[in-house]
Amino acid sequence: MKASVVIPCYNEEDNVEKLRAEFFPVIEKLVGRHLPDGSEITALEVVFVDDGSKDNTFNALKGAFGSLDLQDVSVSFVKHEVNRGLGAALRTGFKAVIGDIVITTDCDGTYLFSAIPDMLEYLTGDVAFVTASQYHPKGEIVNVPGYRIFLSRACSLLYRVLLNWQIRTYTSLFRAYRREVVDQISFKSNGFLGGTELMVKAMLKGFKVAEFPTALHNRMFGVSKAKLIQTVSAHLLFQGRLLLHQLHIRSIFAD
C-alpha cells in the first residue's frame, strides 16, 4: 500500500525548518507501518502545493527537501502562479497523488505532525476517512485565540445540527482519506470551505467518518491565512444549501 501526504502552503517560508525538524522524522517512520486492517505502508509520497505564495516558500521547500534522500519516500512540488485558495490547493494535490491513503495536514503544524500515526489507527473497518477533532471530549485547544475558537466551534455546531450530531469538528484540514473518497467526491470551493465541503458531501454519500481526538495548537511562525468574514460567509451559504437539501430529503420521505 502506498500513502500520500498533501500539504497546501501559502507564505509559509518561516515554517520550512519546522517541517524539517518535526514532519519528516514522522513520515519516514510510517513506511513499514501496518494499518488496522493489516495492510502495510510500503511507500510514501509527499506533495507540497504552493498556492501562489508571495514570499520564498516554493524555493525554500525545494531547497530543503528537493534532494532529500529517504528510503521509499518521494517528495514533489506543485506551484500555483497566483493564490487560488485552500480548496483549490487540495484539488491540485489530490490530482497529483496516487496513494491508497491520502493524508492532508496544515503546513504550520497546528495539529502536531507526530499525531499522524495515531490518526491512521482510526481507519478501522468501514471507516472511509478520519478527521481531527479538538472539540471531541478527549480533544484539546492550546493557546488558540478565543475569537477563532468561537467562530470555529459555532460553525461546527451548525453542521452538527444539520448533518450529524455525533461529529463535533467539521473544519479541520488534518485528515486521512481512503482513495475512494478522494476519487468519488468532488467539491467546488476554492477557499477554506473546501475541506468542509468535501467532508459533508462524503458523509451525505454514505462514507463513514471517524473523529480523531487531538490537540489544536496556535501556530508558532507566520500568521493565519484565513479571511474570517469571507470564510464565515462561505460556510453560512453552504449551510443554507445543506439545510435546503435536508428539508428536500425529508419531504420526499414524508410523501
Q: Does this model's pTM top 0.85?
A: yes
CB 187 within 8 A of CB 241: no
**Rounded Cα–Cα distance for residues 150 and 45 (Å):** 35
Q: How many whole angstroms separate alpha carbon 176 and alpha carbon 104?
A: 6
157: amino acid identity, one letter = L
pLDDT in the model for residue 222: 46
The burial class, CB within 10 Å (0-12 / 13-18 / 19+), for 241 is exposed
pLDDT at 221: 45
Could you list the pLDDT tens digit for every one of the 255 residues in the chain? Answer: 999 999 999 999 999 999 999 999 999 999 999 999 999 999 999 999 999 999 999 999 999 999 998 989 999 999 999 999 999 999 999 999 999 999 999 999 999 999 999 999 999 999 999 999 999 999 999 999 888 889 889 999 999 999 999 999 999 999 999 999 999 999 999 999 999 999 999 999 999 999 999 999 986 544 555 567 888 899 999 999 999 998 887 666 554
- Structural domains for the chain: 2-254 (3.90.550.10)
